[in-house]
């Protein structure tokens, strides 16, 4: 399931994040890559343990917690602290699959990476190239969103970032361990959730059909969720 979430960040939040990134210490992005990914990766990244990264995470994590699309699509149990990267001219990231398990140093714990997310911090007119290309059941999907928008997709997906030919592409990226690890089940629940919202708008909050659909949704979630 590939889902686009609009306006995760406000214009002011994007501006604040970019101002912090302007003077941040950028390092070789290979530091967070696995063996296979490192061979394909060519970008710059903010060190995970830098004070700037902590400030940026304090902006993004509350925004994620409040976003209904992210919560409905990812059904988050644990979220890896967001990371930050940039691709300048000539940089890209070849086809790869994200590591299945990540270690959160600050929390001294591991998470399973069920869902990958890229939160765009540059607008499409600021750079050429840089498309996020994700392979799913319907073929290759090319994603290039407005600053503040985010794409959510299965971490099992083969994906790449096309080389930059003009400008610079800045983004935040992270992974989520979902309460429902199976992507097919998450997709059914997400579609169910969207249909419930439409039914509420059409029929009203207390309509018996809405109540029945809501009960079925939660019973499915209760059956599939791992906490």
Report the 10 Å Cβ neighbour count for 182.
13
Residues β-bridged to residue 171: 85, 120
Cβ(91)–Cβ(42) below 8 Å: yes
133-154 residue pLDDT tens: 999 877 899 999 999 999 999 9
| pLDDT score of 68 | 97
What's the rounded mean pLDDT across residues 69-97? 97
What's the rounded mean pLDDT across residues 111-127? 98
Domain 3-178 has CATH 2.60.120.620: yes
Across the chain, how many H-helices and E-strands are there?
6, 17
161-183 residue pLDDT tens: 999 999 999 999 999 999 999 99
């Amino acid at each position: 399931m590939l889902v686009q979430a609009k306006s995760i960040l406000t214009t002011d939040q994007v501006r604040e994040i970019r101002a912090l990134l302007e003077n941040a210490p950028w390092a070789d992005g290979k530091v967070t890559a696995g063996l296979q990914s490192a061979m394909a990766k060519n970008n710059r990244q903010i060190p995970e343990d830098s004070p700037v990264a902590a400030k940026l995470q304090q902006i993004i994590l509350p925004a994620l917690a409040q976003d209904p699309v992210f919560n409905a699509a990812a059904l988050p149990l644990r979220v890896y602290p967001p990371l930050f990267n940039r691709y300048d001219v000539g940089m890209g990231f070849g086809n790869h699959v994200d590591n299945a398990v990540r270690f959160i140093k600050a929390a001294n714990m591991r998470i399973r990476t069920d869902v990958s997310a890229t939160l765009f911090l540059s607008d499409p007119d600021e750079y050429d190239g840089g498309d996020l290309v994700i392979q799913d059941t319907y073929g290759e999907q090319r994603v290039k969103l407005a600053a503040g928008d985010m794409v959510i997709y299965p971490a099992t997906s083969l994906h790449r970032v096309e080389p930059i030919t003009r400008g610079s592409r800045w983004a935040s990226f992270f992974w989520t361990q979902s309460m429902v690890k199976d992507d097919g089940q998450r997709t059914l629940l997400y579609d169910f959730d969207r249909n419930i919202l439409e039914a509420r708008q059409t029929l009203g909050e207390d309509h018996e059909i809405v109540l029945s659909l809501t009960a079925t949704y939660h019973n499915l979630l209760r059956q599939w969720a791992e906490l």
